[in-house]
Amino acid sequence: MFHREVGLPPRQLLRVIRFERSCRLVRSTPRGAMTEVALNAGYFDHAHMLHEWHALAGCRPDEWLAEELLSVQAEAGAAP
């Protein structure tokens, strides 16, 4: 019933929520503190977080952040 109502089974929903939490933390935490990000996001360790990032985003958090920053800079440069 949960899967029908939400669109994901409970375990998969928790996985997505944890991933989204780690995205927010990656943006706001100094780059050298990825183990701290992993633990604060609810992962067992840094390796667990990297595995989930590869599975869900297809890249490491630092690669994603570099692309994110490039996108923000490109948008800022395009503003009139």
Structure tokens at 25: 């933390």
Residue type, 73: Q
Q: What is the pLDDT of residue 30?
A: 79
Tell me the domain boundaries of the chain: 2-78
Helix 46-56 to helix 10-28 angle, to the nearest 10 degrees?
110
User: What is the pTM (predicted TM-score) of this model?
Assistant: 0.79
Distance separating alpha carbons of residues 76 and 61, to the nearest angstrom: 22
Backbone angles phi, psi at 46, to 5 degrees: -60, -40
pLDDT higher than 70, residue 70: no
CATH of 2-78, one of 3.90.1720.10, 1.10.10.60, 1.10.357.10, 3.30.70.1400: 1.10.10.60
pLDDT higher than 70, residue 78: no
Average pLDDT of the chain, as a whole number? 88
The mean pLDDT value for 18-45 works out to 92
